[in-house]
């Protein structure tokens, strides 16, 4: 695969991944893992977790990460450029024409339709990430007992993070940082 091909893959992802980073994550996983086989599913979800915990838009973060992983700094720049180009063009077009079309019933209908679709895609990504990080999939496939199908250190980190997040006034960034430290210590 060439850098130009990488650019067009991420441009394709950037063009069709409507609804933000978590929505794009499901689409990215399908394209990068299933369609092109650029990375494994496990590596993709590890990259997704790191991209979620770093500042900035998740789609751009993961494009930069994957591009850099595959081709070094030039790959990171090319993948990022491919990811953001459709958004830049779309924003320019919307800024130019949206005020004229925002009251049209068709435009309002499209936006009303996108809300539940986006919610469903975010839920899909949540289930995929949850199953990859909390469940011991090999034990699940081999018919393991109930207690064996969970990755207990991950379950404890998740539960502790949720308790700290909802019972204290700590900023979510601090909780993510604590989860990252615990993950490093346990794994």
Tell me which DSSP letter residue 104 carries. Answer: S
Q: What is the pLDDT along the chain (187 residues), one digit of tens a residue?
A: 899 999 999 999 988 876 666 777 788 888 989 999 989 988 988 888 888 888 888 888 989 999 999 999 999 999 999 999 998 998 898 888 877 777 888 888 888 888 888 888 888 888 888 887 887 767 666 766 767 788 888 889 999 999 999 999 899 989 988 988 888 888 7
Question: So what's the pLDDT on residue 119?
Answer: 84
- What phi and psi, each to the nearest 5 degrees, are found at residue 171? -65, 140
Tell me which DSSP letter residue 165 carries. Answer: H
Question: So what's the pLDDT on residue 5?
Answer: 94
Question: So what's the pLDDT on residue 57?
Answer: 85
Question: So what's the pLDDT on residue 19?
Answer: 66
* Cα 78 to Cα 8: distance, rounded to the nearest angstrom: 9
- Give per-residue burial for 111-148: e unless 16+ CB within 10 Å, then b: eeeeeeeeeebbeebeebbeebbbebeebeeeeeeeee
Question: So what's the pLDDT on residue 136?
Answer: 74
What are the residue ranges spanned by the domains of the chain? 3-101
């Amino acid at each position: 695969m060439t850098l130009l091909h990488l650019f067009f893959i991420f441009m394709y992802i950037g063009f069709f991944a409507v609804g933000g980073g978590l929505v794009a994550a499901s689409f990215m996983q399908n394209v990068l893992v299933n369609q092109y086989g650029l990375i494994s599913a496990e590596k993709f979800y590890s990259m997704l977790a790191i991209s979620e915990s770093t500042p900035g838009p998740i789609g751009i973060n993961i494009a930069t990460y994957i591009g850099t992983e595959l081709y070094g700094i030039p790959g990171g720049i090319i993948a990022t450029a491919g990811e953001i180009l459709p958004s830049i063009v779309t924003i320019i077009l919307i800024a130019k024409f949206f005020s004229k079309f925002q009251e049209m019933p068709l435009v309002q209908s499209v936006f009303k339709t996108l809300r539940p679709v986006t919610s469903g895609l975010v839920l899909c990504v949540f289930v995929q990430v949850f199953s990859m990080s909390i469940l011991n999939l090999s034990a699940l496939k081999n018919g393991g007992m109930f207690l064996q199908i969970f990755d207990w250190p991950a379950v404890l980190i998740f539960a502790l993070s949720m308790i700290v997040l909802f019972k204290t006034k700590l900023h979510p960034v601090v909780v993510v940082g604590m989860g990252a430290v615990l993950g490093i210590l346990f794994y």
